[in-house]
Amino acid sequence: MKTILAILFTMSITSIVLAQNADQALARIHYKFSHIRDTTNRDEPFQENMILIIGKNASVYASYDKMTQAERLAAFLKEQTKANGGTLTNIVMQKGLMKKVTSTDFYSYPNEQKSFSIEYLMMNKYIIPEELPTIKWTIKQDTMSFAGVNCRKAISRYKGRNWTAWYAVDLPFQSGPWQLSGLPGLIIEAYDDRKDIQFRFEGLENVNESNLVTKDDKIRIGTGELNFSNNSYLGREIKLPKDAIKATRAEINKLRQAITDNPAASMGGTVVAGATVVKKNAPTQKTAKNTFNNPIELPEIKK
């Protein structure tokens, strides 16, 4: 615990002041993300529903499962609060209510050649300013249609993998899933040559008044407050969170490692806003760790 607190103390204690202006959200693209994390068990890839929100000058890529999970958790906590006379004590989490989701959001600003990663760790948001990835694409003559969206093929070598991307020629946005970007059209599908990593197109919707999320979903517990609002993703604008703490990638990696080394210090028996969260039938013995030998970013092999 002391190690985790020491790392947190070295980070900025104030929110970062950001120059990026809010951009109007124009469309949302849904992807099915598939990642073979364990090459010894290729039949059980990690899968997650992801979303890319695009505007004229900005985009954000995040876990859609994280958003729907937040909605379910908010409804569950409201129900528990009502049942306990306005308080929450010793909440027993329902099985299947929470699952592992991608905690990192990627914001891109192609016109300014800037990007930001937002990391969610220990109830805090951390913002990491980074350079927009430079990917050297080779555009091919191959064409394909995805649910009526006409696309063209492009290939590249990036982060240790050989990538194939299909971009929409009629949608002149330079964005795509994860860090994939820089083509003269929106990236609709992408995968590496072994199909270890796949971003499969699940649909596209225009942002309009009927699908906006504009309410703050806050739950007051004692003197504290929990915010489950998805406004920052499904509202009218694409904008960086104002309450994020500025950090470097090295600091975040150090914090992640400290949490991995001592998970009980960051999760077990934690009291949040006056509510004690307990896990039903929590195991008393250590369980075997899942093998994760195939990260999305691989080191380049020197020739």
| DSSP assignment of 77-134 | HHHHHHHTTT---SEEPPTTS------EEEEEEGGGTEEEEEEEETTEEEEEEEEPP-
Q: Which of 120, 5, 7 is nearest to 69 (CA)?
A: 120
Q: What is the pLDDT of residue 303?
A: 59
Structural domain including 38 reads 2-131+188-278
Determine the pLDDT at residue 291. Answer: 84
What residue spans of 123-238 are helical by DSSP H?
Answer: 231-234
CA 101 from centre of chain: 8
Helices (H), the chain: 2-10, 64-83, 231-234, 249-261, 263-266
| 140 assigned to some structural domain | no
- Give the pLDDT of residue 258: 87
pTM over 0.75: yes
CB count in 10 Å sphere of residue 232: 20
pLDDT average per 10 residues of sequence, the chain (303 residues): 42 49 93 96 95 95 91 77 67 72 93 92 87 94 95 97 96 94 96 97 92 68 59 86 90 86 55 42 48 92 68
pLDDT for 301: 76
Would residue 269 count as lying in a domain?
Answer: yes
Q: Distance of CA 87 to CAs 77, 171, 214, 220, Å?
A: 10, 49, 26, 9
Task: Return the amino acid letter for 296.
Answer: I
Displacement of CA 169 from its chain's centroid (Å): 26
The answer to whether position 142 is within a domain reads no
Q: Is residue 208 part of a domain?
A: yes
Pairing of strands 46-55, 124-131: unpaired
* Res 264: pLDDT: 59
For 201-211, letters b (16+ CB in 10 Å) and e give bbebeebeeee
Using CB atoms within 10 A of its CB, is residue 233 exposed (0-12), middle (13-18) or buried (19+)?
buried
Spatial contact of 278 and 92, defined as CB atoms under 8 Å apart: yes
Note the pLDDT tens digit of each residue in 20-76.
788 999 999 999 999 999 999 999 999 999 999 999 999 999 999 998 888 887 777
Please tell me the predicted confidence (pLDDT) of residue 10: 45
Q: Quick one: pLDDT at residue 82?
A: 73
Residue 149 lies in a domain: no
- Tokens found for residue 43: 């039949």
Do 240 and 127 contact (CB within 8 A), yes or no?
A: yes
Report pLDDT for 243: 84
Stretch (H or E) spanning 150: strand 149-158
In a domain, 27, yes or no: yes
Domain assignment of residue 38, yes or no? yes
Question: What pLDDT, on a 0 to 100 scale, did the predictor assign at position 137?
Answer: 98
Confirm if 34 and 46 have CB atoms less than 8 A apart.
yes
Q: Nearest CA to 77 among 277, 279, 280?
A: 277
In whole angstroms, give the CA distance from residue 91 to residue 88.
7
DSSP line for 256-280:
HHHHHH-HHHHTTT-EETTEEEE-T
- The tally of domains found in the chain comes to 1
Looking at the domain assignment, is residue 283 inside a domain?
no
